[in-house]
Amino acid sequence: MALHSKIILGLLIGLVFGIISVFIGLNDFVSDWIMPFGTIFVKMLKLVAVPLILVSLISGISNLRDTSKLSRIGGKTFGIYVLTTISAIIIALFLANTLQPGEYFPDEKTAELKEKYASDANMKITSAENVKDSGPLQMMIDVVPDNFFYSASNNRNMLQIIFFSILFGVGLVLSSPKKSAPVKKAFDGLNEIIIKIVEIIMEYAPIGVFALLAGLIVDLAGDDPNNLITTLKPLLYYAITVLIGLAFMIFIFYPIIIYSFTGISFFNFLKAIFPAQMLAFSTSSSAATLPLTMKRVEKNLNVSEEVTSFVCPLGATINMDGTSIHQAISAVFIAQAFGQDLTLTDQIVIVITATLSSIGAAAVPGAGLIMLVIVLGAIGIDPQGLALIIAIDRPLDMCRTMVNVTGDATVASLVASSEGEKIKFKT
């Protein structure tokens, strides 16, 4: 059976198993005996993320003959990432303003949810405070590590690892080949080994995905599934608006640009990237999905290692089209639910702040919600509004992470194609 079939099977069985467990009261069993296998799977994926970025980026760059190609690829990647994010936000604002999900939200629910989720919302607001307190160039400062080992010891420092790897790779290209050849060979060899490790971890993916989904359902439903249904029902229209935006990206936006610029059919593109999308759905983390995204882009879309190893890790950390769609729609939804009108200037502020906060959001579950505080603050909306959407955030996070990962694969294909590479589906 192909990997994607096995992953889907794991996902579906996990879903059904989770629902049954909730109804027959096996919540504790699932949390204690099933969910740990999902946690182990995510830990293994994260374990391999730093070595993978380090080794594949250095080995990719070391194959370049000069560094001008690297700056060209860098410029294009960053430019396309920002453009796709801004487009995503404009689409989201159009949807939120025409469908107006907040207008249908019952007033009494606003008060009820604000009270019920006040402490959860406060936690997110406190996390966002740390980001807000820093100066405008803090993001740039944070990219530069002052100690490599410190950076490598925390998966949140992905951009620092990318920075160091590029520096090391450029150093390798510029050094005398006589002296640096053994180092290059070593990195090529290490790269092979890491790719094998990713393959080994992927063998375990169906079980991991099963456990994650079952655990998630039990977690969401808690002890009283009816309570969950009454909480989520009024949020349905909001959730549908977000899902329409996300589906638009996957089924219309990316297919059009991918076909126009690379000639590859959407169906083939989807076949290549589908397992990564499923993993993104199960883990809600672009960082955890990164090893598989890179593998699929390189092996199944024929993108060179030098482009894959640069574009994908960077994308996992800064390119989040799904997150930005969610932020824009949520901001408008909360404003509408609070009865606050947004001016054109407010909408422009949303475009700017949602772009920046999706870049700043960490590639982990729930990060987008924390950064939403910044968007709300910029348009003068009470950040406690987060309480309205917290209950439904995880399922939406699963879906927006799928879009984030698809966006990274799309841009990797575009950049590779613009460098003269032939993008095609390979099994």
Q: Is residue 365 a contact residue for ligand ASP (CB under 6 A)?
A: yes
Binding mask 279-318 for ligand ASP (x = CB under 6 A): -----xxx--------------------------------
**Smallest distance, ligand ASP to C-beta of residue 298, A:** 20
Please choose, out of 80-88, 224-232, 361-369, 376-384, the segment that lies near ligand ASP by the rule CB under 6 A.
361-369
Looking at 128, 221, 276, 320, which residue binds ligand ASP (CB under 6 A)?
Answer: 320
Q: Are 306 and 297 in contact (CB under 8 A)?
A: no
Residue 235 is which amino acid?
Answer: L
User: Which two three-digit tokens encode residue 45?
Assistant: 């994926």
Comparing CB distances to ligand ASP, the nearer of 27 and 404 is: 404
Comparing CB distances to ligand ASP, the nearer of 44 and 363 is: 363
Distance CA 272, CA 280 (A): 14
Q: Is residue 366 a contact residue for ligand ASP (CB under 6 A)?
A: yes
Distance CA 100, CA 106 (A): 13
Q: Is residue 409 a contact residue for ligand ASP (CB under 6 A)?
A: no
Q: Is residue 404 a contact residue for ligand ASP (CB under 6 A)?
A: yes
Q: Is residue 330 a contact residue for ligand ASP (CB under 6 A)?
A: no
Radius of gyration, alpha carbons of the chain: 22
* H-state helical runs in 153-204: 158-174, 177-203
Looking at 363, 376, 388, 399, which residue binds ligand ASP (CB under 6 A)?
Answer: 363
Looking at 314, 367, 379, 391, which residue binds ligand ASP (CB under 6 A)?
Answer: 367
Q: Are 101 and 237 in contact (CB under 8 A)?
A: yes
Residues, the chain: 427
Position closest to ligand ASP via CB: 368
Residue 60 is which amino acid?
Answer: G
Looking at 298, 305, 397, 408, which residue binds ligand ASP (CB under 6 A)?
Answer: 397
CA dihedral (221, 223, 225, 226) positive or negative:
negative
Q: Is residue 400 a contact residue for ligand ASP (CB under 6 A)?
A: yes
Q: Are 360 and 375 in contact (CB under 8 A)?
A: no
Q: Are 402 and 250 in contact (CB under 8 A)?
A: yes
Looking at 53, 55, 70, 361, which residue binds ligand ASP (CB under 6 A)?
Answer: 361
Total of chain residues touching ligand ASP, rule CB under 6 A = 16
Looking at 169, 255, 315, 368, which residue binds ligand ASP (CB under 6 A)?
Answer: 368
Candidates 50, 46, 74, 69; CA nearest to 315 is 74
DSSP category for residue 342: P
**Smallest distance, ligand ASP to C-beta of residue 319, A:** 9
Q: Are 212 and 283 in contact (CB under 8 A)?
A: yes
Comparing CB distances to ligand ASP, the nearer of 110 and 324 is: 324
The residues near 104 (Cβ < 8 Å, ≥ 6 apart) are 237
Interface positions with ligand ASP (CB under 6 A)? 284-286, 320, 323, 361, 363-368, 397, 400-401, 404
